[in-house]
Amino acid sequence: MRKKYFAFLLIPFSLLACKEDPPEVQGDLIDIPYTPVDFVPEIPASFPMLEVPPDNPLTVEGVELGRRLFYDPILSADGSLSCSSCHKPEFGFSDPFPTSIGVDGVAGTRSSMSLLNVGFFYNGLAWDGIHPSLEAQASEPVVNPVELHENWDNVVEKLRLHPDYPERFRKAFGIEDSSEISEELATKAIAQFERTIISGGNSRYDKALRGEIFFTDAEANGYDMFFDISPDMPDAECGHCHTGPLLSVNDYFNNGLDEALDLNDFPDLGRGAVTGSIFDNGKFRAPTLRNIALTAPYMHDGRFQTLEEVIDHYDSGGHYADNLDPLIYNIGLTEDQKADLLAFLLTFTDTTYLQNEALLSPFE
Amino acid sequence: MKTNVRTILAFAFVLSLLSMVGCDNTDSNGALSRANVNFKAYYEGNPLVMNQTYDYNGIDIQFSKVRFFVSEISLIQAGAETEIEDVEMIDITSSNTNETAAIAGFNMGSRTVPAGVYDGVKIGLGVTSDNNSLLPAEFSSTHPLGDESDYWPVWNSYIFSKLEGRYDADGDGMFEGSLVYHIGTDGLYQMKMFEDLSLRMDENQSLDFEFHIDIKDIFRENGSFINIETDGFTHTDPSNPEQMELSTLVATNWKSALSFNE
């Protein structure tokens, strides 16, 4: 009889043993109000619509949390670097170095891309388009050994124990307990902030298109060559890959940076490493030219220090490969024409975004 | 007697209504069928594979980009049109990446149509003037008209078709020649009709619609072929008569190169 009672007592214990430890949800944040407010970004009139994932709508609280995470070195292994370390506002949210240096002092292989207007881009993000979304992209630098070299478990733990972040996660996402802070929510917040990094509408280029100013003669000549407006000037072929309000297209090109007699010979396979197609080897995303004067050095590996070098490269026709874009060929611009083209490129500069404190560090 | 006359007249009226319905081969009961629309690209009759080498009158040539807009795809029955697609981008570049994929072609997808028997198909090559007055920024990124790379601001026009590639003019194995045909502007919109067809679209069934285009035919010129070494480039610059002449030739050839496989 006693054996039967003993067996009966064992059953609940065995059930408990089989069950995983319950999450430590104690509701430590539940008293903090969760009343998110829609964030409505100011988008220049000519820009396309900002497409936001349905599961990550912009809110004032989410954008602000994202801004803090973007500028906070808490995401790095040694607390020395943040997203903003390689995406500095004053350089068009890019890095003035050819390739960025990570927390271990090791340089990466690619130049930091400008984040200006990044929320409007699709068909893959980064030079090779490996990231399907801003949310996915925001996850990678944290764990990349040549970037922040941290792991997300540590980051999440630091955020949970932080005196300020749990409340901000609550206000942004409605979590009830600090234990619900996660990589997913952190990257969502960063993506929200990045979608608000918008620049446009106040450059000389924008004003000239609106008829508010006239281009100088040099700028007008450059405009002509950039978009092949008249047969009297050479066609510099720029406008095929840098067009529309964002001065970019969502596509990948071999612009002749490296010779490759075999398509496997490229030092960096670029898009090809993502798609697996040999014909995509050596292709990279066409970046935006908005604020191009601020985002030196240029190309995916930062090989060109100046826009003059960039113009010389395209004028030369670049280096041969079977998949060299057919729009890359020897153009034969004169030095005056190159100078005019440069003058036009400088009309893309618009630093008014730097006056928007909501885009700058909250810690300074 | 009056009643009989009324009865006869009423009967005749009903009969005439029925006969009118009988003349209409579309199903008046709202029965639906589906059209599976597919585009297959060829080069001299062989499935066109992107980046594969073909012979162009003794010159090796490779195509790296073939894409074009189609508009106002409609089924026709006794002159009445039923539009099944307003505008779509046919991107052979993305579909014809290898031999197998090239045989399968570009699948535009399935469109719902009223069941019935149709005697013709209409298709526009390019973008209608109504749509061409709009800008990519007015569309979502997934809409066919939402891609900035398909718009040329200087023309205020979408680029109706892009044909790009490289050729090896001197036979040294290096494809150093550039081929770029970018065609656009309202005047070069082409409408093509395929008539005297018998397309039976049965209720709850689907019918495959296959459009074929032979890329080699796009290069036809006066019984021969375009010299791509001298005329391998056009952006359809309206201020450049030579480019406009070449673009007009390419646009009309594109129309001629398109066939419908019943």
Closest-CA residue of chain A to B240: A231
The H or E element that residue A138 is part of is helix A134-143
Locate the domains of chain A by residue range. 60-198, 204-353
**Under 8 Å CB-to-CB from A357, ≥6 apart: which residues?**
none
Looking at residue A243, its pLDDT comes to 96
Give dist(CA B188, CA B68) in Å, integer. 13
Strand intervals (E) in chain A:
252-253, 284-285
Verify whether the Cβ–Cβ distance A230 to B239 is below 8 Å.
Answer: yes
Domain A204-353 of CATH type 1.10.3720.10: no
The H or E element that residue A219 is part of is helix A217-227
Residues A183-211, mean pLDDT to the nearest whole number: 97
Which residues in chain B are closer than 8 Å to A246, comparing Cβ atoms? 148
Verify whether the Cβ–Cβ distance B166 to A324 is below 8 Å.
Answer: yes
Q: Burial, B119: exposed, middle or buried (Cβ in 10 Å; 0-12, 13-18, 19+)?
A: middle
Determine which of A205, A240, A262 to mutate to test the interface with B (most B C-beta atoms within 10 Å).
A240
Looking at residue B6, its pLDDT comes to 54
Hey, do A60-198 and A204-353 end up sharing a CATH topology, with the first three levels equal? yes
Which residues in chain A are closer than 8 Å to B137, comparing Cβ atoms? 46-49, 244-245
Residue with the bigger pLDDT between B2 and B203: it is B203
User: Which CATH number is associated with domain A60-198?
Assistant: 1.10.760.10
What is the sign of the dihedral through the CA atoms of A134, A137, A139 and A141?
A: negative
Q: Provide the b/e sequence for B88-112 (b: ≥16 CB within 10 Å).
A: bbbbbbebbbeeeebeebbebeebe
Which residues in chain B are closer than 8 Å to A276, comparing Cβ atoms? none
Contact A70, A82 (CB under 8 A): yes
Residue A265 — φ and ψ, nearest 5°?
Answer: -85, -5
Q: Which of A8-22, A88-102, B99-113, B218-232 has the lowest mean pLDDT?
A: A8-22
Cα B58 to its chain centre, rounded Å, is 29
Determine which of B149, B242, B247 to mutate to test the interface with A (most A C-beta atoms within 10 Å).
B149
Q: Helices A183-195 & A152-161, crossing angle to 10 degrees?
A: 80
Verify whether the Cβ–Cβ distance B149 to A251 is below 8 Å.
Answer: yes
Place of tokens 């069928």: B33
Contact A274, A124 (CB under 8 A): yes
> Mind listing the pLDDT tens digit for each residue in B13-56?
444 444 344 444 555 578 999 999 999 999 999 999 999 999 99
**Under 8 Å CB-to-CB from A333, ≥6 apart: which residues?**
A225, A234, A236, A311, A315, A341
Closest-CA residue of chain A to B174: A322
Looking at residue A21, its pLDDT comes to 53
**Under 8 Å CB-to-CB from A121, ≥6 apart: which residues?**
A246, A248, A250
Nearest to A52 by CA among A170, A237, A192, A260: A192
Which residues in chain A are closer than 8 Å to B179, comparing Cβ atoms? 326
Closest-CA residue of chain B to A235: B235
Residue of B151, B165, B235 with shortest CB distance to A244: B151
Q: Which of A16-25, A143-152, A332-341, B116-125 has the lowest mean pLDDT?
A: A16-25
Chain A nearest CA to B18, separation (Å): 51
CB atoms near residue B59 (< 10 Å) = 17
Is A326 at the interface with chain B, CB within 8 A?
yes
Give dist(CA A85, CA A94) in Å, integer. 9
Which residues in chain B are closer than 8 Å to A49, comparing Cβ atoms? 137, 140
Q: Nearest 5 degrees, angle CA B138-CA B240-CA A231?
A: 90
> Mind listing the pLDDT tens digit for each residue in B134-183?
999 999 999 999 999 999 988 899 999 999 999 999 999 999 999 999 99
Alpha-carbon distance values, B35 to B85, B106, B194 (Å):
11, 14, 16
Contact B163, B92 (CB under 8 A): no
Helices (H), chain B: 2-23, 92-95, 99-104, 129-132, 241-257
> Mind listing the pLDDT tens digit for each residue in B186-243?
999 999 999 999 999 999 999 999 999 999 999 999 999 999 999 999 999 888 899 9
**Residue B197 token pair:** 């067809």
Helices and strands (H and E) in chain A: how many: 12, 2
Alpha-carbon distance values, A57 to A28, A61, A194, B41, B196 (Å):
25, 11, 13, 42, 53
Looking at residue A4, its pLDDT comes to 43
Residues B123-129, mean pLDDT to the nearest whole number: 98
Residue of A48, A240, A279 with shortest CB distance to B137: A48
* Long-range own/partner contacts, residues B132-135 (CB < 8 A, 24 or more apart): B132/B156, B132/B157, B132/B158, B132/B186, B132/B189
Residue of B152, B154, B240 with shortest CB distance to A231: B240
Give dist(CA B169, CA B176) in Å, integer. 8
ipTM metric: 0.86
Chain A nearest CA to B152, separation (Å): 8
Q: Helices A165-173 & A183-195, crossing angle to 10 degrees?
A: 70
CB atoms near residue B172 (< 10 Å) = 8
**Under 8 Å CB-to-CB from A217, ≥6 apart: which residues?**
none
Verify whether the Cβ–Cβ distance B151 to A243 is below 8 Å.
Answer: yes
> Mind listing the pLDDT tens digit for each residue in A83-105?
999 999 999 999 999 999 999 99
Verify whether the Cβ–Cβ distance B147 to A324 is below 8 Å.
Answer: no
Q: Which one-letter amino acid corresponds to residue A337? A: Q
Is B198 at the interface with chain A, CB within 8 A?
no
Determine which of B92, B93, B140, B148 to mutate to test the interface with A (most A C-beta atoms within 10 Å).
B148
Residues A233-261, mean pLDDT to the nearest whole number: 96
Which residues in chain A are closer than 8 Å to B154, comparing Cβ atoms? 227-229, 239
Is B129 at the interface with chain A, CB within 8 A?
no
What rounded mean pLDDT belongs to chain A?
A: 93
Nearest to B101 by CA among B156, B64, B49: B49
Looking at residue B28, its pLDDT comes to 52
Closest-CA residue of chain A to B244: A231
Residue of A228, A248, A324 with shortest CB distance to B237: A228
Strands B190-194 and B120-125: antiparallel
Looking at residue A116, its pLDDT comes to 98
Give dist(CA B43, CA B59) in Å, integer. 14
**Under 8 Å CB-to-CB from A202, ≥6 apart: which residues?**
A350, A352
Verify whether the Cβ–Cβ distance A326 to B239 is below 8 Å.
Answer: no
Chain A nearest CA to B209, separation (Å): 29
Which residues in chain A are closer than 8 Å to B165, comparing Cβ atoms? 326
Give dist(CA B207, CA B199) in Å, integer. 8
Give dist(CA B154, CA B38) in Å, integer. 32
Residue B233 pairs in a beta bridge with B180
Nearest to A171 by CA among A68, A53, A76, A41: A68
Chain B, 201 to 260: residues with Cβ < 8 Å from chain A are 235, 237, 239-240, 243
Residues A174-201, mean pLDDT to the nearest whole number: 98
Which residues in chain B are closer than 8 Å to A48, comparing Cβ atoms? 136-137, 139, 141, 146, 148
Locate the domains of chain B by residue range. 31-261
Looking at residue B228, its pLDDT comes to 97
Alpha-carbon distance values, A178 to A27, A129, A184, B167 (Å):
8, 34, 14, 62
Q: How confident is the model at residue A24 (pLDDT cuts 50, 70, 90)?
A: low
Q: Provide the b/e sequence for B226-250 (b: ≥16 CB within 10 Å).
A: bebeebbbbbbbbebeebbebbebb
Looking at residue A16, its pLDDT comes to 43
